[in-house]
Structure 1
């Protein structure tokens, strides 16, 4: 495990990552209630999302990569973002954060590396608080957020309907 972890690099996302990032996200759209999107995206449809996360400022995209098994290229293992919490101006110093990992990349510490890099990047920004909405149940995500100092502040009950049932979303916050 430690050798895999040391090979993982975290860097800002770039436009060349778009297809791989879209593939990772679409897995969660198709297979899980972790996102409440219900239709998959094309990379072109996701381009505005990617472009809304520049390399500086409060809205970031951090990407975890490692050498693919052949060693000829970098495989994207996951990503973390900080995005606007709400569109109204008074919310400008709050961000919503999230992580998505490739289906095979869990339990390797990649989420920890991504959040560490994201929160380090945000340290110099005018951001006061981070929020995370976690569709329930999701113990791994809850544990990750708690390790980074997030505290549970409330749960929206049966707020989303996907796969023929309703899902709760637990909301967590942390000071930045």
Structure 2
């Protein structure tokens, strides 16, 4: 498996992966699946370097180019106001049949190593509840629970809580 920056050629695979979670889970609060063209601005908002990244985990095939996309991780602006510029929101998604293989761990490890070279002070993750696997992943990286928004989103005819987690990344932390 390799981890690399996301590229235009990944757009369809990334959209398909994300749409699974849109249609089947409350992990994301998007409620309508996207076309690749609708997802293009999201992809383009994550350059190869800087604080807002998109990294892709991909199978390696001997003697050929890349293989299937197994998951991806992003760091995105936490909020749009300038004083939030040193904070990012992070998300990780794995292909449904690739869960439990350490892909999320590999993606987060690679992302956090890169972000520690940037002017990023804190990373935040919102986790729709319940999601014990995601909570364990985030706590393994040192995230700590800082609060829960109760019944903040409605999807599939019910309300969902979102627990917020914080990870210090800055040099003084």
| TM-score range for the pair, normalised by the shorter chain length | over 0.9
The aligned counterpart of 1:41 is: 34
Alignment of 1:136-175 (within 5 A): 136-175=129-168
Alignment of 1:25-40 (within 5 A): 25-40=18-33
Q: Which runs of 4+ in 1 moved over 2 A?
A: none
1:102-130 deviations in Å (ceiling 9; x for gaps):
11010000000000010111111000000
RMSD: 1.3
TM (normalized to structure 1)? 0.93
Unaligned runs of 5+ in 1: 1-7
Number of aligned residue pairs: 168
The answer to whether 1:106 aligns with 2:105 is no
Which residue of 126, 131, 155 maps to 1:133? Answer: 126
TM (normalized to structure 2)? 0.94
Which residue of 80, 94, 100 maps to 1:87? Answer: 80
Please give the secondary structure, in 2, of the residue aligned with 1:166. strand
Shift of the 104–93 alpha-carbon distance from structure 1 to 2, 3 Å rule, reads: same
TM superposition shift of 1:67: 3.6
The aligned counterpart of 1:59 is: 52
Unaligned runs of 5+ in 2: none
Please give the alpha-carbon distance, in whole angstroms, between the structure 1 residues aligned to 2:65 and 2:47: 27
